[in-house]
Amino acid sequence: MGRQGEMTEINLVPMEDSSSGHSSIEHPSRTEQRSSSANHNTINHNRQSYSYSYSQSRPPAPGHYHYSRQSYVDDTPGASPPGTPMTGGGGAHPYGSLQPPRHPSYATGNGVDTRSSSPFPQSQTPFRSQDTLRPLFPDTSSTFFNKDWVKDGSIAQLHSRDDAEFWHGWKRNLFYFAPMLVALSLALYWIYFGLRIAFIISAQNQKRATFPLAWIFVAVEVSVAIPIFMQNFWTMFALKKRRRPKLRLIGNDVPTVDVFVTCCGEDDDLVLDTVRASCDQDWPQDKFRVIVLDDGKSATLERAVRDLADTYPNLYYKSRPKFPGVPHHFKAGNLNYGLDEVHTMPGGAGQFMAALDADMIPEQHWLRAVTPHLLLDPKMALACPPQLFYNTPPGDPLCQSLDFFVHVCEPIKDALGVAWCTGSGYVVRRDALDEIGNFPLGSLAEDVATSTLMLGKGWKTAFVHEPLQFGTVPEDFGSHLKQRTRWAIGTVDTSLKLNFCLWGDKIKRMSFAQKSSSFLYAFLSLFNILLTVSMFALPVVLIAGKPLVAYANFEQLRWLIRACFAAYVANRATEFVLFIPSGYHTGQRGSRYQLWMSPYIALCLIRAFVLPKWLGGQAQAFKPTGSLQSALNERDAAKRAPMWRRMWTIIVNYMAWFHVGYVYFCLVAVAMSSYRCFTNLTTKDILICLITHAFWPPLTFIIVCSSFWIPITYAVDPPTVPDREQLLVRDPKTNVAHPTKESKKIAFKGQSAWFEFELTFTTLYTTAAFVASFFY
């Protein structure tokens, strides 16, 4: 953090470059020292100049950056159309027709508003953004922030890392060993498979016969392992450290922003909580608008928003017309409608656009935290914070939180320059949207498509790893399935249209790392089809009475057990370290989720992209998760449906019969295989038969069966989640609500302990087999 009171300021002033005609950045020399008295102590502020870049080897100390208001003006072709407002003094306010809010706190005793007619005059308006900075300088006087440091148009660095709030200390140091553990795990795994293949060949030569099932089983294992290896190899880029600091935009000299709140059929109360928090942003009110884009055209929501506009005059309601037979392109069409509409509103379009899902409540400093990353780099098109949730049930049995993705995957993608737009909470530069023709149509994943197209045009994207928005996860099993399958279809559809980001004019300016990452995520979605098919290999081989491994002699069997142990233990160590940012139990839930969810995603992808309609194929359909009402009310202890109805709905209507069938098929195969082993004469033969058939370490069938049983355990014992209002802290005067501190965390539940017991048991079993290989 640096010593208290030290800071650095950079003036970003555009200078004309005679060689290229483009703007360059001038960094002024050191300015004089200043001092400020605080509690009879003198604090010196050394202002030094240096070139700031995220790619430099060492980030600057916590500091203070200044951007010029002129840096927003772009006279080049393709810039914002005439009428697009620019910040600067001497002219009309960008949203000049707006008046300050009529809020009770501004009124005197006789009810008369005594403020100046000029919105947010600097001499009278306090800097609300100081509140996030004061903990860094607790001993300073009350005038320190007002006069001696904070200046209009300044960017303050609060920390050298934006994710310092999530994890630090020994956890961060240990996480840097993840790439080395991944490399070790991959090496040992391929050694294990190499021995499997070599020993099958040796056994065939000895027996003078072929073992087709052994080859099929190995082929299936290798085909399933390859995508996992690709993903693990990609995580090795965690060594490439992110250099994204925690920034705040200070003062009232800020760019103009249009904040879109998109909704379509969600509960009014849910939408209004997001709207109020959006209007309550720490941002000059004459510099931003909140526009509710209601694709459901709710009359009650329209009335509520218009009533709320009496308090927040920068709040608007819009609902686009829809005509029969004319495609409306889902959320992308709704956003594009908003982008067109703002040009017809007073003051024209803002310089930046921000978007929030209907249920995502932003923190008060959301815009102050995200926008600086765009201001410091003129090629930064989009910056997005993680999607976090406040109603995740205890134990998160369906793995509905995105913690592993936002805390592990997205930071690595950001380090590689390929951060995805995650759909809510992002701030985007209008010039970048104009260049790609606004949000791409015809996709269920307009957020991924948008950020990919921007990267293809040479723009940059950023992931701001701060807790800046909190939303709600789907409240029932069916809504969860619809949400995740829609994401998978949208990702694959976008990738197909962009040739999996391997070639084409739309992605020609993407780097190799960006193309590789985009290809990998699309491929991993398709991988669910292969994973679903591969899981039948184990029970089929056991039913056929064949061993899972082939070998020519006992020495080869010993080495197979030892190699299996080494690969498994290395993988467990890798998981423990790799899951640190998101939490160990969250990572394990994600691994199990990939198993039990794969049949749903596989079926959806096959029906959407493979099967014709006459064979059960179906066009891509969209249903907003928030508009789906739970018929079971399974998370409400007072209203939930009885168990028999929950079981019937999830097993029959939501096709969990597949999971039940697979588990019983697998257990029957294990029982039949084990029964055959006990027909042997000696104890040694029985043990060898068991260990080479159903009980080959690390007892894969136990993990797979327990994972596949999750939908059934959910139906029998669903989690209880309090009413949403109990998870919020609401201001009695403004009615603005934010999630409680406790609701932002995932509570622990006994199911996680049971899963850990299974993993511990399989690890101990594998260790016992390894030790026994030296004695038998």
**Predicted local distance difference test score (pLDDT) of residue 35:** 32
In the DSSP assignment, the letter for residue 394 is T
d(CA 578, CA 238): 10
CB-hemisphere CA count at 13 Å for 727?
22
State CA 722 to chain mean position distance. Answer: 25
DSSP 73: -
Contact of 263 with 358, CB cutoff 8 Å: yes
Contact 243, 60 (CB under 8 A): no
Question: What residues contact 460, with CB distance under 8 A and at least 6 apart?
Answer: 377, 379, 380, 381, 417
Backbone angles phi, psi at 70, to 5 degrees: -65, -20
Q: How far apart are CA 715 and CA 458, in angstroms?
A: 48
- How many other β-carbons are positioned within 10 Å of the β-carbon of residue 765? 16
Q: Measuring CA to CA, how many Å separate 281 from each of 256, 286, 312, 367, 578?
A: 13, 12, 11, 7, 35
Contact predicate 293/318, CB 8 Å: yes
Give, to the nearest 10 degrees, the angle between helix 477-497 and helix 512-534: 130
SS3 (DSSP) at 629: coil
Q: How many CB atoms lie within 10 A of CB 524?
A: 18
Closest by CA to 249, choosing from 126, 125, 65, 399, is 65
- Separate counts of helices (H) and strands (E) for the chain: 22, 19
**∠383-386-392 over CA atoms, to 5°?**
160
Please check whether residue 526 is in contact with residue 603, taking contact to mean a CB–CB distance below 8 angstroms: no
* Three-state secondary-structure class, residue 157: strand
Could you list the residue range(s) of the whole structural domain that residue 26 is in? 1-70+127-160
Q: Is position 575 within any domain?
A: no
Dist. CA 118–CA 286, nearest whole Å: 10
496 in a domain, yes or no? Answer: no
Residue 220 lies in a domain: no
CB 528 within 8 A of CB 610: no
Residue 300: how many other CB atoms lie within 10 Å:
8
CA distances to 361, 378, 436, 445 from 429, in Å? 22, 9, 11, 19
DSSP annotation of 61 reads: P
> CA 730, CA 64: separation in Å to the nearest integer?
33
Helix (H, G, I), strand (E, B) or coil at 324: coil
Please state, in angstroms and rounded to a whole number, the distance separating the CA atoms of residues 719 and 131. 38
18 in a domain, yes or no?
A: yes
> Measured between alpha carbons, how far is 476 from 484 in angstroms, rounded to an integer?
13
Q: Taking the chain (776 residues) in consecutive chunks of 10 residues, what is each chunk's mean pLDDT?
A: 37 35 32 33 30 33 44 37 35 37 33 33 39 48 39 75 85 85 90 94 90 84 74 69 87 93 95 97 94 95 96 96 88 94 92 96 96 94 96 95 90 88 93 93 84 93 96 93 89 86 86 82 83 90 90 94 95 90 90 93 89 72 43 90 93 93 96 91 89 93 95 95 96 95 90 92 96 90
Paired strand residues for 294: 263
Cα–Cα distance measured from residue 40 to residue 33, given in angstroms and rounded to the nearest whole number: 18
Longest Cα–Cα distance of the chain, Å, equals: 103
In degrees and rounded to multiples of 5, residue 154 shows phi and psi of -105, 150
Say if 207 falls within a structural domain: no
Q: Coil, helix or strand for 49? A: coil
How many CB atoms neighbour CB 346 within 10 A?
12
Residue 331 within a domain: no
**Interhelix angle for 178-207 vs 212-235, to 10°?**
170
The runs of H, that is alpha helices, within 610-749 are 643-648, 657-677, 683-692, 700-708, 710-716
Q: How far apart are the first and last CA of the chain?
A: 58
Judged by DSSP in three states, 153 sits in coil
Helix, strand and coil percent figures for the chain, each rounded to 5: 45, 10, 40
Residue 263, helix vs strand vs coil: strand
Determine the pLDDT at residue 424. Answer: 94
Contact by Cβ (8 Å): 409, 387: no
Tell me the C-alpha distance between 517 and 463, whole Å.
Answer: 15
> How many other C-beta atoms lie within 10 A of the C-beta of residue 343?
11
> What pLDDT does residue 526 have?
84
SS (H, E, C) 83-145: CCCCCCCCCCCCCCCCCCCCCHHHECCCCCECCCCCCCCCCCCCCHHHHHCHHHCCCCCCCHH
Say which residues have a Cβ less than 8 Å from residue 467's Cβ, sequence separation at least 6: 165, 166, 363, 385, 386, 388, 744
11-16 and 23-26 strand pairing:
antiparallel
Rounded to whole angstroms, the Cα distance separating 315 from 413 reads 35
Instruction: Name the residue with tokens 């096959």.
Output: 606
10: in domain:
yes
Q: Which residue from 517, 494, 507, 417 is spatially nearest to 462, judged by alpha carbons?
A: 417
| Contact indicator for 730, 737 with CB cutoff of 8 Å | yes
User: Do 119 and 209 touch, CB atoms closer than 8 A?
Assistant: no
Closest CA to 292 of 307, 97, 283, 625: 307
Burial, 267: exposed, middle or buried (Cβ in 10 Å; 0-12, 13-18, 19+)?
Answer: middle
Evaluate whether 94 touches 350 at the Cβ level (below 8 Å): yes
The helix (run of H) or strand (run of E) holding residue 192 is: helix 178-207
Give CA–CA dist 576/518, Å, rounded.
26
Q: At what angle do helices 584-609 and 554-578 cross, to 10 degrees?
A: 100
Pairing, β 728-730 against β 41-45: unpaired
Nearest CA-CA partner of 254 in 23, 439, 115, 427 = 427
* Residue 31 maps to a domain: yes
Q: Side-chain half-sphere of 401: how many Cα atoms within 13 Å?
A: 28
Quote the pTM value: 0.80
Cα torsion angle, 571, 388, 128, 74, sign: positive
- For residue 581, how far is the Cα from the chain centroid? 13
Number of structural domains in the chain? 1
Distance separating alpha carbons of residues 391 and 724, to the nearest angstrom: 7
**Beta-bridge partner residues of 64:** 156
E strand or H helix that includes residue 159: strand 154-159
